[in-house]
Every structure is written in C-alpha cells, then in structure tokens.
Amino acid sequence: KKKLKISGRELLSVPMQVFGLDQLQVLEMSPERESCLRYRMEQLTPEIGRLRNLTCLYVDSNNLKKIPAEIGTLSRLERLTLSNNSLSSLPAEMGALQRLQSLHLANNSLTKLPAPLCQLRSLTFLDVSDNKIDTIPSSIRHLEKLETLLLLFNSLKSLPEDVCLLRNLHTLWLGNNHLRSLPAAFGELVNLDWGYNYCSCNFEGNPLESPPPEVCSRGPEGITDYFSSLRRI
C-alpha cells in the first residue's frame, strides 16, 4: 500500500509493522480531519527514518514532545503537519528536508523560529501560529519560494528587514503579536493580495505606531509613502 491512516483516540505509538512498509508514501496519524479529538502519541520513534519513500506525514493533534533526528532522512517528504502538539524545539536535521513544500507547526510551544527551517529552499507554506516565538532570524530571507507565512498569536516585537526580501509572499498573517513598527521596506511586498483578500496581510492585535494602523490599511503604497515622508523630515 502507498497510503496508510492509523486512527484511535488511544493511539500511543506507531505500530512497528508500519516501518516494514518501505513503499509507503502517505502516513496519517491525526484525528484533525475527522473531529476535535486528540490522540496521545508523545513521540515518533527513530524508526520513522526507515520510510524513505514518504512524501506526506500527518501527525497533528497528538501530544508530541519530541521529533527524532531521523526525520531528516525522509528526503522525499513534501508535506509535514505537526500542529497541535507539545513541541518546544525541532531537530537540526529537519534542514535536510529539501523537498519540503508545506510545514504546519501551529499551536505548539516553540519560542523561536528554528534556524533549520530557513534552509528549506522549496518551502512555499509555513504556519507557526499560536506559539511563543519572539524573534525571526534574518536567515528567513533564504526561503525565497515562500508564498504563505502565518505568524499570528506569537510574541513578536519586531520583524527583520530580511522579511521584505520574501518577494513571493502572497499571504502574511502577523495579527496578535507585540509589533510596534514594521521594516521600512515593508511596502515592497507587492505580491501580497492587499486589495483582494482582506486577511492576506493581517496586523490586527498589534500596538503599531510606525506606521499607524490607518496607514497599513492603505496597502503597500501607503506604507512606502509613509516611510518616504519620514526620510524627508
């Protein structure tokens, strides 16, 4: 079989027989698509690294506290969902997942955007909402294919100028952080769907002062004009 779904609210671990399915491409161990249940699995075993043909791994809504370093051997992985767990860190080996396009990490206990994530050059979707992240590393500029970045409900106090180099961004959610200012080049993110999707760039719930909320609502031109006027003063 190429696809396997394991279900059950008493799920505590991956049955060892699964690791013999070396042709497996999709492994789902998440109740998220069916109900509001949570499973009880606390960690993936290192044997997950045997499934070298996996392209999709869904482990949302468990109780994962740790991801093994062997996750980095899944070189064909394109989609990884780890939302709604208890993760406080990620292994550096995740930087080896160079085919990864979509990564879901919402509602965990991450305090920073892990540096290995900024090595994932194929990433187009990254959701780290509802964590405790307070800084974004400047190395985020390497995610040149990134189209969707969800950062709402974190503890961000500032954004690095390097965020403005993510020219392929179409959706950027920044709501409910502690941002008082935006980078001066923020208006250069012209591919955001400013006028078409009201939530494509979301600032709500931030104590913005520079530029103020009314300027942000005017989109990239308003933000660019605001910072230009400051430079003339």
HSE (CB half, 13 Å, CA atoms) of 117?
22
- Average pLDDT score over residue span 221-232: 86
- pTM reported for the whole predicted model: 0.91
- Tokens coding 94: 């995740």
What is the rounded CA–CA span in Å between residue 214 and residue 221?
Answer: 13
| Domain ranges, ordered by start, for the chain | 3-231
1 vs 111, more confident: 111
pLDDT one-digit tens code per residue, 171-203: 999 999 999 999 999 989 988 876 554 456 788
Architecture of the domain delimited by 3-231 = Alpha-Beta Horseshoe (3.80)
- Tokens coding 9: 């609210």
Helix (H) or strand (E) holding 227: helix 220-232
pLDDT score of 185 = 93
Residues 6+ apart with CB under 8 A from 141: 162, 163, 165, 166
For residue 89, what are the CA distances in angstroms to 139, 155, 177?
A: 18, 16, 20
pLDDT one-digit tens code per residue, 65-121: 999 999 999 999 999 999 999 999 999 999 999 999 999 999 999 999 888 899 999
pLDDT score of 151 = 95
